[in-house]
Amino acid sequence: DWVIVTRQLTRQYDMGGEIVRALRGVDLAIRRNEYVAIMGPSGSGKSTLMNLIGCLDTPNGGEYWLNGMLVSTMSDDQLARVRNKEIGFVFQTFNLLPRASALQNVELPLVYAGVSAEERKKRATEALERVQLGQRMHHRPNELSGGQRQRVAIARALVNRPSILLADEPTGNLDSQTSSEIMRVFDELSREGQTVVMVTHEPDIAANARRVVVLRDGVIASDERRNQFVERV
């Protein structure tokens, strides 16, 4: 039940002759239902690793298996197909359509996937209920709190039933109480079997995950599991 397996993953950028080695050999294996925070100082390679895990970019070396599929050698078209099916993205800025209701926002990925209107509504409603927003489905983003907006974005990321929920600084725009509400949502989702991978530079946020991977200079400096969910307010 390994969802993510990387072996000696490397990524470098050529800046007009000067090579920047952003990842220098990352070995990482993540199982289904893990809840992992990726931490590290600015420039340590978090975004680069996130882009590779999220099938937005391909490595220069090493291998990446996603659900047993070797994705590190896929073409851009194949990669896009895998990304749409397997990855649900959550961002710091919620990226919701301002004039659309919560339900319409969550339905959007299913519109692109060609799912029927009836089925879309059913699945979007289920996704909103999973993040405890069943009572706010017809509200627009500006009628919702920051935490509720991020929960709409999480529901949207989940509606295609991706194997990985990938969150990039998901609490960057939220106060600490609202952040811990979002961390609680991730914790519950992971306990229901959803793989959650979150990038954050905030130790207090990372402490909510059950596993913390720290990057330094493009390699994994530490990788620790914890069992207890710590309520932080």
| Residue 20 dihedral angles phi and psi, to the nearest 5° | -100, 115
Give me the residues that bind ligand ADP (CB under 6 A), please.
13, 15, 20, 22, 40, 42-48
Beta bridge partners of 203: none
Number of Cβ within 10 Å of residue 186's Cβ equals 23
Nearer to ligand ADP, 13 or 112 (CB): 13
* Region of 23 on the Ramachandran plot (φ > 0 left; ψ -120 to 50 alpha; else beta): beta
Residue from 48, 32, 92, 88 nearest 215 by CA: 48
Q: Are 226 and 34 in contact (CB under 8 A)?
A: no
Nearer to ligand ADP, 93 or 145 (CB): 93
Residue from 113, 131, 39, 55 nearest 87 by CA: 55
Nearer to ligand ADP, 51 or 132 (CB): 51
Nearer to ligand ADP, 46 or 83 (CB): 46
